[in-house]
Structure 1
Amino acid sequence: MKPDRTALDYLELFRSGSWFRATPADFQERVLRLGVLRSLKTGQHLFSRGNLPAGIYGVVDGAIRLRTLGSSGREALLKFLEPPSWCGEIALFDGLPLTHDAIADAPSLVVHVPHAPLEALLAEQPGYWREFGRLMAQHMRLTLLSIDETALEAAPIRLARRLLLIAQNYGDLHGHSSRVIEVRQEELAMMLSISRQTTNQLLKQLEAQGIVGLRYGEIEILDLEKLRGVVAGNG
């Protein structure tokens, strides 16, 4: 990272995301002018469950893993945040401690917009609350869909849907999808609450159909339309 780089230098990157792209231009610039850049090493916490609200975060490079730990120490992996994703908006609204851990899954660069100046901006421009409300609604919609699929859908469809969501960066990529997903099979298994063995078997089935290609730590989507067909129950 060049020492003279600022959060505002990543304006166009964040505009590639569906949420940030739809916000007013003045909102985009004023929020990023408040941001500071944070570099994280692999395994370093961006924030931890129970921390007090500290602002919002936008991913510039790398990947951030959102997870929670049960009382037994078992990890539940919620999702990966990749550029140009944002998080932290829930605590901005309710002021309560954070509910999850956010950990760098690779060397990462993040824009951190601190809580106090962000609240001051919102007090000055209360209309900006609507933009963060839209971000929270986007995340809530995905959470509810995930709950529905866990309760109602068979594992092959859940896996295909999760691959599609990751490829589209959980709906945040504007107008395109990533063909190569950097995710390990054990991580997918944790996201879907199924065994790694089952995950491997389902991925092998998709590979045999020419839908995905499997490599260590990566899954390449070879046929996006066929994958969508599996999600629709036509695979």
Structure 2
Amino acid sequence: MNQFNKEDQPIKLDPLDRVGWLADQPEHFRSWVANNARWRHFAAGEAIYNAGDEPNGMYGLASGALEVTFPLISDEPVTIYRAEPGFWIGEAALMAGATRLVGLSSALDSRVLHIPIGPLRELLEHDPGYWRILYEQSFANLGVALTLLAEALALTPRARIAKLLLRLADGEGRVQGNQDDFGRLIGMTRSSVRRALLNIAEAGFVRTGYRSLEIVDAEALKKISREG
């Protein structure tokens, strides 16, 4: 695990050339990434980096799921976000010249594109205009952080659960996880999560199973997700 692949350069970027930050960048930058990045695979639960580590580049999620944690409590970092494919992270510490503020781990078996810090620094030194591309990604992650904060302050527990389920669902409406997982991801107690899920399930909007559930009525969940 945790090793660079053995592909010859340039590598194929699919699906990250179609979804997320990289997909919105100019063709010349995507070509540069294809010649300098490497695919890596991480098992479920495997750490990619920890808060306090020196930056070693950027990471883009192609498949699986990543969890971002913050060391608010020393013994058990708090999970602040579970990311889906198309998510990128790692630029902030590079831009600030500082150590990592957050930790990153693989929540499921995941395929991740790693852009090493050495080539990134060389690119930025050669052409400072590329800093704007990194700022675009940093701005996007700031938007995610502010959205999560606003949701925690303004939405009902039922609305927060509905939003989480819609975001984590795969293409067939399945969501992997249990009540403890959902509570950890949005900072709610198990009892609050249980009540909210029971309410939604009894209405027929989701179907619960063992460590997973299935969204039956996505439109109904979208309406619930706007409850303040």
- TM-score of the pair, normalised by structure 1: 0.85
Distance in 2 between the 1:181 and 1:192 partners?
A: 15
Letter in 2 for 1:104: S
Q: What pairs with 1:1-235 in structure 2 (closer than 5 Å)?
A: 4-5=6-7, 9-71=11-73, 73-167=75-169, 179-233=173-227
How far does the alpha carbon of each residue in 1:18-75 deviate from its partner, in whole angstroms, 9 at most, with x for none?
Answer: 3222111111121232112222233221001100111101123322221134335244
Provide the identity percentage.
24
The gaps in structure 1 that reach 5 residues or longer are 169-176
Moved more, 122-131 or 83-92: 122-131
| Residues 11 and 35, structure 2, Cα contact 8 Å, conserved in 1 | no
Moved more, 223-232 or 121-130: 121-130
Partner of 1:174: none
How far does the alpha carbon of each residue in 1:154-193 deviate from its partner, in whole angstroms, 9 at most, with x for none?
Answer: 211122222233348xxxxxxxx66222233212101222
Moved more, 64-73 or 82-91: 64-73
Aligned length: 226
Q: CA RMSD in A?
A: 2.5
Assess, with a 3 A threshold, how the Cα gap between structure 1 residues 95 and 183 changes in structure 2: closer, same or farther: farther
The residue matched to 2:135 in structure 1 has which SS? helix
Distance in 1 between the 2:107 and 2:209 partners?
A: 18
- TM-score of the pair, normalised by structure 2: 0.87
The gaps in structure 2 that reach 5 residues or longer are none
Letter in 2 for 1:64: L
